[in-house]
Structure 1
C-alpha cells in the first residue's frame, strides 16, 4: 500500500471526468480543489516540510484564495522561493498558515532571497519530497516527528549558499503573512545555530546543524551579512518594522556536493529543540549524516500505520486513490507531545486540530479504530485545553487566542468523548472529563440553548442537543443518574430546530451550505426526525429530491462564477457531493427509513465519479483528512455514526478488507462481489452499484444494516453477500434511535 500512495493527489484544481448518472445532478459550490500538499510528513508528526511558493492555503502550489468555484492561479508555473515547515492539509480559510523557517539553497547573492525558481522533476512519497530548482540544485526533504532534514546537491559553483530565513511565515496573499513579534538567533559555530521566534503568541524554537565542511556560517539582517556577529535580538517586531533576518552558510561547491541541514523544533525552547534533534538524528552535533536514517524511520512509521488497513482487489486507480486517502487521513492532527507552551506539565499536545467540524464524523472514528492510542491522546489534549482555557475548542492551532472556530459548530468534542468511553479506549479520568463536558454545554451558544431550548444559527441547536445526549450517555455509564436524566431531557430539544410544516430545519444562517444540507444529519433520534417529516415515504421523497433522483445534470461553477449562477445553484437544494462537510453523513440517512439500497447507489456514485488519480483527483478541500476518511470508510462498506457506538453497513468497494484494531482484526469479506472501475480508469459507462443481499457477523445472520462499534472494535468477520438488485436486507430493523431503541421503525 505504501508504494501506491500519490501525495500529489488533491494538490491541483479538481479535474475529473464529467460525471454521469446520479452524480451528474450534484452541485458543488465550494472550492473545487483538494488544497493538499505533496510535502514530507510523518504520521501525526509535529513537522511537515514542502516547497514554498506562498500559494493558498498550504504555501505550496499555484492558487490564490477562493471560496467558491474553480480556484484562480497566482502563478503560471510550479515554483518555490525555498522550503518551509508546518503546512496545513486540505483546509480552507483558517487564517493561520504557518510555513515557518524557510530554507533556501542558492548560488545567487543574498539579494536574490525571495525570488521564486521553477520546480522540475518533483517526486514525493510518504515522508519524502524532492524537486530540482532552475539553478540546478537538487533539493530533498524528509521529516521525523519533531525534526526536518534537508539535503541539497549543488552544481559546481564558487559560491554556494544555504540561507535560513527565520522571519518568514504565512502566505503571499492579502492578510496571509505572519510576522514574528519577538525573536533571537544565535550563531554557535561549528555549523550549529539556534533561535526562537514568537509567532501568533507561540515561541517556536529551532536548533540547526548544517553539514557543509569548509563553509562559513554568518548572520544576516535585511539581506545584508553581519560579519563577525554571533547573535541578533529583536524585542518587538511590527508589520511596518520587519526586515528579514536569519542565518547563511556559504562556500564553494563541487559538482554533486551535498549539504545536509538538520533542524530540531520545539515549543519549549532551544535546549529542548536540541534534545529533539539529538534523540531522532543521533550524534553529538556538527557531523554525521542523518537524512537516510530519518527517512527510513519515517517510512517504517508510515508502513506500520498504513498496514492497519488492507484491501484486496480493485483496479490500480482505485487502489491508488484508496491508499492515498488513508495516507491523507493520518497526517493530521499534529502532535507535539510534551511541548505545550501554555502549560508546564508533560503529556500529549495536539496543536493543529483544523477543525473538529471537519474530522469528528469520519477521521476521529478512523483514528479510534486503527490508532486508538493517538485518538485518546487527542481527547486528553482537548480536555487539558478545556482546563486551561475554559472551553473545548472546535479548532485548535499553533497560536494563542480565543479564535477557535466557534461559528462552525458547538460542543463537538462531546461526540468523540462519548464514543471513546463506550469503546473503553484509554485511561482518561472520566469523572473529570464529565465535569468539563457538562460545563462546556453552557458556553458560547450553549447559554442561549440552555435558556430557550433553541439557538441560531439553527445548526447549533442540533449540535448542542446531540452533545447533551452524548454527555448523558457518559453520565449514565458513570452511574450519575440524576445528571443523565437532566441532560437527556434537554437532548430531546433537537425538534425545536425543525419546521414541522416542511420537515426541514427552520430558516436561519448556516455556516456553509443551507438548511437542506444540514437537515439530513444523523441525529440521536432519527426515528423522531423521520416522523416529523411525515414518515418513511415522505422522508425518502425528500432525500430523493436532495440527491437528485430524476433530475437533469447540472453545470458546475467555473472560475469567478457570477452571483446569479451561484444563486440559481443554491436554489437547487442539492447534495454537494462530498464538497461540503455537512453532506458527508447524509447518504446514510436512508438506512433509518429502511432504504439501504439508496445509500448503496449514492455512495457508489460518489466513489466512482468524485475521486480520481492525479493532482486534480479530489472534489473539494480534503479538510484535514475528513474527506479522505470518508472515502476509506465508504470503500470498506462501513460508516461510523459518531457518538453513538454505531456503524452502518453498506456494499464495500473491495472484495475483501482487513482492519487491525489494537490486537484484534475485523474482516469485511464478500461473495458475489464484482470489480468496478472508477472514473480515472477511463470508463465509458456507469458501472451499476451492488447491493447487500444478506449478511453474517461472526457466522450469525445479521438482519440489520448496522452493528455496534464495540462489535467492530472487538474484532470479527462480517460476510456480505452482494448482488445486482436491491433486496429486503436491512429494511425491517432500523438503526436504534432515542425514541425507537429497538429499531422497529415506529414510535412507541
Structure 2
C-alpha cells in the first residue's frame, strides 16, 4: 500500500463531485478542507517537517483561519519561506501551533530571510517530502522517529547558505505567532551546533550536524552575523523585544552541490537530542540510509491491511486514509519535560473527542503494544497532572479542551482490558480512571445526576461503565455495583417526550448530532424513544430520508445561514465527527439495511482522490480511520470490545491483527460507482460458522480468521432479530483469555 499513498489528499478545500441521493441531504457545518499536510512524518513519530507558508492550521497550504464553510485563501499557489518542524495533522482550531526551527536554503542575502518562494515540483510519500524553490534550490526532507534530515541541492552561486531560524513559531495569520520565552545557541565545533528554546513552557532542544565542510558556520542575531565562536543566551524574550536569531552555514556552491543538515530533537536537553539523532541515523548516518529505514517502517505498517480492487484511485484513497491514521499521536518515550522519570510519553493527543471512536481502535488492532504504551503514557499524565487528558499538546498546561468531552480515555482502557492486552498495571489504571471521573464536569454529574453540556452526561456515564468493566475483570465486585447506577445516569440527558437529548449547548453540533451515540444500553435507549419503529423514524429524519437536497455553506457564511443549517437537525456527513457512529444506531433497532445505505453514501461520495478529497478536517486521523473501518465492513464500538458488521467496500481485504490475520471476503461484490446502487448483507460466516447478528466480539476480530459476507441487491432478514449486545438485554460477557 506504500506506493498508493498520496499525502497531498486533504491539503486543499473540498473538491468532491456534487453528492446525490441520500448524501445530498447532509449538511456540513465545519470547514470544508482536510487540513492535512504532505510533510515528512515517521509513523507515530515525534517530529514532522514540511514547507512553510504560514497558512492555517499546519503552516503548510493556502488558507486563512477558518471554522465554518469554505476556507478563505491567503495564497493563490503553493509558497514557502522555508521548512519547519512539528505540525498538526488535520486539526482545526487548537489555539497555538508549532512550526519551530525554520530551515531556509538561500542564495539571497540574509536580509531576505522570511520572504516566500514559489514551490515547484512538489513530491511526497510516507516519510519523505521534496520540492524545488523558484530560486532553483532542490529540497528533500526525511523523517526519523526523533530526527529530521534535510538535503538541499544548490545551483552554482558564490553566496549559498542554509539558515536555521530558532526565533520563529506558529503561523503568520493574526494572533498565530508563537514566541520562545528563553533560548540558548552555540557552535560546538565545525559542522556541529546545538541549542534549546523554551516555548509554551516546554524546553525543546536540537542537535544539528551539517556536512558542508568548506562553508563557514556562524550564529546570527537580528539578521546580523555574530563573531565566530560566540554563544547566544537569551534569558527573557517578549513579543515586544523579540529579534530573530539562529545559525547559518554559508559559502560558494557548485552546480548540483548537495548539503545535508541532520537534526536530532529532544524535550530533555541537547545531549539527549544528540543521542536521539545518532540512534536514528544508525551506522551509515546518511540521508539515503535514513530514507531506506523510514520507507521500510512505513511499508511494514501500510502492508498490514491490503484491499482487492481494480481501481487505482480507490486503492489510493484507502491507502492514504490508512497513512493518515498512523501519524498521530506523537510517541516520545523517556522524553517528558515535566517529570524526570523514564517511561512512555506522548503528545499531540490533540482531538481525543475525534480519535477515540475509530483511530484508537485501529491502533489497538494493528499495534497493540503501542496502544498499551499510549495508555500507560496517558495514565502517567493523569498521575502527574491530575487528569486523563482530553487534548494534550507539546505545551505546559495544554489540556484546555474540557468543553469538548469528558472521560474519553476510559474507552481505550476498557477495550485494552477486555482484550487482555499486556503491559499495563491495571490496579494503577483503575485508581486513575476513578479519579478522572470526578474532575471538571464530574462533580456536577455526581451532585446533580447530570452535567451541562448534556453530551458530558453521556461521556461520564459511559466512563463509569467502562471503569466498571476494568473493575469487574480485576474482581472488584463492590466497585462494579457502586458504578452501575452512575453508569445508568445517561437517561438523565434525554427528553422522553421527544426521544432526543434535551436542550443544551452542544460542541460543534446540535442535540441531533449527539442523540444517536452508541451507548452501553442501546436497548433501553430505544425503549426510551418509544421502541424500534419510533427510534428508526427519528434516525430516518436525521439522515434525510425523503428530504430535499441542502445547500452547503460557502465562504464566510453568515450567522443566519449557519443557524438555518443547524436548525435542520441533520447528519453532518463526516464533515465533522460528533455523529460519526450514528449510522450504526440502526443495528440496535434491527435495521442494518439502513446502516448499509448511509455508509454506502459516505464511503463512495464523501471521500475521493486529489488535494480536495476530504469532506472536512481529518482531525489527527479521526476521519481517515473511520473510512478504513467502514471500507472493511467493520465498525468498532469503542470501550465495548465489539465490532458491528456492514457491507465491505472491497471484494477482499486482509488485516494483520494482534493474534493472526483477519481475511474479509465479500461474495457477489459489485464494484461501486458514486451514486450507484447499495449492496446489502444477506448472510455472514466467521471461520465457516454462521453469524446471525450484525456484530462480532472484539476478541474474535483480534484473533483473526475468515469473515465472509454474502451480498445482494436488496435487504434481507439478516441482523434484524439478533441485536448487538446491550446492558439491559444481554448476559454478562464470558471471561477473556490473555492476549499476546
Query: Is 1:364 the counterpart of 2:360 in the alignment?
Result: yes
Query: Which residue is 2:736 aligned to?
Result: none
TM-score (norm: length of structure 1):
0.97
Q: Distance in 1 between matches of 2:598 and 2:731?
A: 26
Aligned length: 732
Tell me, in whole angstroms, the C-alpha distance in 1 between the residues paired with 2:503 and 2:229.
Answer: 64
SS at match of 1:474: helix
Q: 1:490 maps to what in 2?
A: 486
Residue of structure 1 in register with 2:272 after alignment? 272
C-alpha separation between the residues in 2 aligned to 1:410 and 1:82?
39
- Give, in angstroms, the shift of residue 334 of structure 1: 0.6
Deviation sequence 1:405-462 (CA, Å, 0-9, x none): 1110001111110000000112211011001111111110000001111110000000
Superposed CA RMSD: 1.1
| SS of match in other structure, 1:730 | coil
Whether 2:546 is the aligned partner of 1:550: answer yes
Report the counterpart of residue 214 of structure 1 in structure 2: 214
Q: Does 1:677 align with 2:666?
A: no
Which residue matches 2:83? Answer: 83
User: What is the match of residue 598 of structure 2?
Assistant: 602
Secondary structure (helix, strand or coil) at the match of 2:624 reads: helix
- Are 1:429 and 2:425 matched, yes or no? yes
Corresponding residue for 1:717?
Answer: 706
Unaligned runs of 5+ in 2: 733-740
Indicate whether 1:514 and 2:510 are aligned. yes
Most deviating of 402-411 and 357-366: 402-411
Residue equivalent to 2:735:
none
Between the aligned partners of 1:12 and 1:38, the Cα distance in structure 2 is 11
Structure 1 equivalent of residue 57 of structure 2: 57
Q: Check the 8 A contact 2:106/2:161 in 1, yes or no.
A: yes
Per-residue deviation at 1:397? Answer: 0.7
Any residues of structure 2 matched to 1:659-678 within 5 Å, and which? 659-678=655-674
Alignment of 1:381-400 (within 5 A): 381-400=377-396
- Partner deviation per Cα, 1:138-169 (whole Å, 9 max, x = no partner): 01100100010000000110000100001111
Range that drifts further, 75-84 or 628-637: 75-84
Matches within 5 A, 1:261-300: 261-282=261-282, 290-300=286-296
Shift of 1:566: 1.5
1:213 deviates by 2.4
**Superposed displacement of residue 189, structure 1:** 2.4
The whole-number CA distance in structure 2 between the counterparts of 1:52 and 1:524 is: 45
2:694 matched residue in structure 1: 705
Q: Deviations over 1:367-409 (max 9, x none)?
A: 0000111111110000000000011110111000153311100
Q: Any residues of structure 2 matched to 1:622-701 within 5 Å, and which? A: 622-678=618-674, 686-701=675-690
CA distance change for structure 1 residues 593 and 77 in 2, over 3 Å: closer, same or farther?
Answer: same
Hey, which bits of structure 1, 4+ residues long, moved more than 4 A?
A: none
Query: CA contact under 8 A between 2:278 and 2:285: conserved in structure 1?
Result: no
Is residue 2:156 matched to residue 1:156? yes
For 1:433-512, list aligned pairs within 5 A.
433-512=429-508
Report the counterpart of residue 130 of structure 2 in structure 1.
Answer: 130
Aligned counterparts of 1:407 and 1:185: Cα–Cα separation in 2 = 39
Aligned counterpart, 1:682: none
Deviations 1:164-199 (A, max 9, x none): 001111111122111111110001221110000001
3-state SS of the aligned residue for 2:578?
helix
Q: Partner of 2:452: helix, strand, or coil?
A: coil
Alpha-carbon contact 1:106-1:160 (below 8 Å) kept: yes
**8 Å contact 1:315–1:677 — kept in the other structure?**
no
Give secondary structure in 2 for the equivalent of 1:623.
coil
Shift, 1:25, TM fit: 0.6
Higher mean alpha-carbon deviation, 502-511 vs 310-319, is at: 310-319
Q: Deviations over 1:448-488 (max 9, x none)?
A: 00111111000000000000001011111111111111111
Please report the TM-score for the alignment, with normalisation by the length of structure 2. Answer: 0.98
Deviation at 1:282, TM superposition (A): 3.8
Which among 580, 588, 606 is matched to residue 592 of structure 1? 588
Q: How does 1:267-346 map to 2 (within 5 A)?
A: 267-282=267-282, 290-346=286-342
Describe the SS at the equivalent of 1:583.
coil
Per-residue CA deviation, residues 306-355 of structure 1 (Å, 9 max, x unaligned), is 11111112521111100000000000001111111112122211111112
| 8 A Cα contact 1:211 1:289, kept in partner | no
Shift of 1:742: 5.5
| Separation in structure 1 between the aligned mates of residue 15 and residue 576 of structure 2, nearest angstrom | 18
**Partners in 2 of 1:269 and 1:727 — Cα distance?**
62
Aligned-residue offset at 1:14: 0.3
Distance 1:717 1:81 in 2: 51
Indicate the residue corresponding to 1:616 in structure 2: 612
Within-5 A mapping of 1:342-353: 342-353=338-349
1:624 is paired with a residue of what secondary structure?
coil
* Alignment partners' CA distance in 2, 1:134 and 1:311: 39
| CA–CA separation in structure 2 for the residues paired with 1:721 and 1:282 | 50
Aligned-partner SS, 1:581: coil
Cα separation, 1, equivalents of 2:617 and 2:655: 26
- Is the partner of 2:620 in helix, strand or coil? helix
Q: Name the SS of the counterpart of 2:590 in structure 1.
A: coil
